[in-house]
Amino acid sequence: MNSSGDESFSITETPEGVTFSLHVQPKACRNEICGISGNELKIRLTSPPVEGAANRLCREFLAKLLRVAKSDVSIIAGEKSRHKTVRIHGVGRKEVLKLLQQTRSSE
């Protein structure tokens, strides 16, 4: 995972959960977190960006990684863009940062 730019990755925490930006690369060979790109978490998804398939997979992938229900993950901006803002209920900033550290250390 590319660690350059980690300082600019922004996670907003509220009592309900967290909000952060994603850069999604559809039609990849596997689902994975691949680093930080500017102020966004970059993820690759196997699904094509047609009829909401990539958005569904994005929510499912994040829910599985953060161990929350799929209904706790919502795309609040960028439904039709590669640049999305997601809100995840039931987790805090620490959980997201821990996930990033685990991903980085597994490479």
* pLDDT higher at 106 or 84: 84
pLDDT exceeds 70 at position 2: no
Q: What is the pTM of this model?
A: 0.85
Q: Domain span at residue 94? A: 6-105
pLDDT mean over 74-92: 94
Between the two ends of the chain, the Cα-to-Cα distance in Å is 7
Total number of domains in the chain: 1
pLDDT exceeds 70 at position 7: no
Residue 74 pLDDT: 95
Specify if 11 maps to a domain: yes
CATH number of the domain that residue 85 is part of: 3.30.1200.10
Specify if 1 maps to a domain: no
Q: pLDDT, tens digit, for every residue of 8-17?
A: 788 999 888 9
Specify if 78 maps to a domain: yes
Q: pLDDT, tens digit, for every residue of 27-79?
A: 999 999 998 888 999 999 999 989 899 999 999 999 999 999 999 999 999 99
